[in-house]
Homo-oligomer: A and B are copies of this chain.
Amino acid sequence: MHEQLIKSIQDKITLSPEEIEKVKHFYIPKKIRKRQYLLNAGDVCQYIAFVEKGLLRSFTVDNDGGEHVIQFALEGWLIGDMSSFLSGDEATYNIEALEDAELLLLSKPSMEDMLHTVPKMETYFRILMQNHIVALNRRVISSMSDTAEQKYLKLMNNCPGIVNRASQQNIASFLGITPETLSRIRKQVAQK
């Protein structure tokens, strides 16, 4: 049940077996079914979710009712509205399961406890934050300067799992292009 979490942590820092046991107990396991929401925009984000299994998306809905996929999360990824979680403000994102999923939830009090009892986890979260910012910066540049095809190919290289498992609509929204354009691109790419 915690394999992915432990792998993710040991990837970045070294913990003793006892520390690992302690860390585990701060997370609450939760299963959630396809199409269920983990968070609704407007609520406060109570939990950061680590994905053990499954696929989720976070997205916003703009004034015209258009959805914009902010992020996908599959096995080994974190998802949540960080800003709402840390500040206690209303969330601006929705989070929905695209597949049946097994999650490990971390509440804010648990997180604080955990950082207190296993201080090395500070480093773990700092690295996650840092990687997230780097990824966001890359995405900004890509969305501004790459063609639709380049964006798609980069996603295929970096996250083949997402391309295979998410619907084209969601992928298109994530890439900032229309589903029709994505369909045509896939056709072209396949012919090579």
Contacts and interface: CB of A to CB of B under 8 A. Distances in A.
Interface of A: 60, 62, 66, 68, 70, 82-83, 86-87, 126-127, 129-130, 132-134, 136-137, 139-141, 143-145, 175-176
B136 A70 contact: no
22 contacts: A60-B141, A62-B141, A66-B145, A70-B137, A70-B140, A70-B141, A82-B130, A82-B133, A83-B130, A83-B133, A87-B130, A129-B129, A132-B133, A133-B133, A133-B136, A136-B136, A136-B137, A136-B140, A143-B176, A144-B175, A144-B176, A145-B176
A133 to B, nearest CB: 6
A9 to B, nearest CB: 17
A105 to B, nearest CB: 20
A139 B137 CA distance: 10
A126 B86 contact: yes
A86 B134 CA distance: 12
A144 B143 contact: yes
A114 to B, nearest CB: 16
A144 B171 CA distance: 13
Nearest to A131: B83
A51 B70 CA distance: 31
Contacts of A133: 82-83, 129, 132-133, 136
